[in-house]
Amino acid sequence: MLNFTVDADKCTRCGECARDCPAGVIDMDGLPVVRPEREARCIECQHCLAICQPGALGVFGKDPADSLPLKGMFPVPAKMETLIMGRRSVRRYKKEGVDPALIRHLLDVASHAPTAVNGRPVTLTVMDDPAAMDRLRAEMTAEAVNLLHGDGFPAGWEHVADYVRGCEDGTDIIFRNAPHVLIASAPEDSFAPMADCHIVMSYFDLLASAHGLGTVWNGMVRAMLTEILPRFRTRLGIPENHLLACVMSFGWPAVKYHRTVQRPGGTIRRADF
């Protein structure tokens, strides 16, 4: 149910909610209204709740008083720029796990990332128990090493064998000894499953870095789950109809970086038409 409500005493009749509604479901009839025949067009973005300055408008039973105010709360550009440039791929981790409550908080915040048509199709599968993570690490590594001496890797993935050989002496090349792993997947028939997953994971990546955690985008584990040892995907409960887009190892870093690097700018073109 849309449950669109307006506090007439607070509403200034400015019409901003109607003008900003992406689906055009809000009309102004003195007060903002949503006509029953338009309710089904709502994409649940809550722009109307966010744009109402006096907090007069509620939707889906949400009270605007429970939302966080934005004024003065965004990071200054210099700090945001330093976070982006200073974020490192971490491949050395402490053994201690991250508090599951913190992990859940990071995931809840990251779930605010934009998705195509606000479909929010992404499922985040997290290993928040270091003991369970150790079991996954041991079993997957053992099976990957066995492939080296048995049937070999699937065609097109032979290059992964070079990394797995480094695991034969007990070094964890696959998971980098991280105590946690995060997997992003979405239904293959959703509008933009690959992009949606990568955007959500990018939000998690930067937020985790801001909390002092280390992360690394783990293409090795994604390859294992999708092409090389897919039975582990099933054991982890990734839905069969999902595109498994990306994987991230994370935890408290056992390394400290002290400055940004100095990379040349990327390829940038000024478009003209």
Domain spans, the chain: 5-66, 77-251
Tell me the CATH number for domain 77-251: 3.40.109.10
According to the model, what pLDDT value does residue 37 have?
94
By the 8 A CB rule, do 32 and 48 touch? yes
Distance CA 12, CA 89 (A): 49
Sequence-separated (6 or more) residues with CB below 8 Å from residue 164: 141, 144, 145, 147, 148, 173, 174
Q: How far is it, in rounded angstroms, from Cα 125 to Cα 183? A: 5
- Quote the pLDDT of residue 1: 83
Q: Give the up-direction half-sphere exposure of residue 153: CA atoms within 13 A in the CB hemisphere.
A: 20
The CATH code for residues 5-66 is 3.30.70.20
Query: According to the model, what pLDDT value does residue 31 have?
Result: 98
Q: What values do phi and psi take at 29, rounded to 5?
A: -130, 65
Q: Which residues of the chain, if any, have pLDDT below 70?
A: none
* pLDDT given for residue 97 in this prediction: 98
pLDDT at 265: 84
Domains 5-66 and 77-251 share a fold: no
Please list, residue by residue across 124-163, b when 16 or more beta carbons sit within 10 angstroms of its beta carbon and e when fewer do. Answer: bbbbbebeebeebbeebbebbbebeeeeebeeeeeebeee
Predicted TM-score of the model (pTM): 0.95
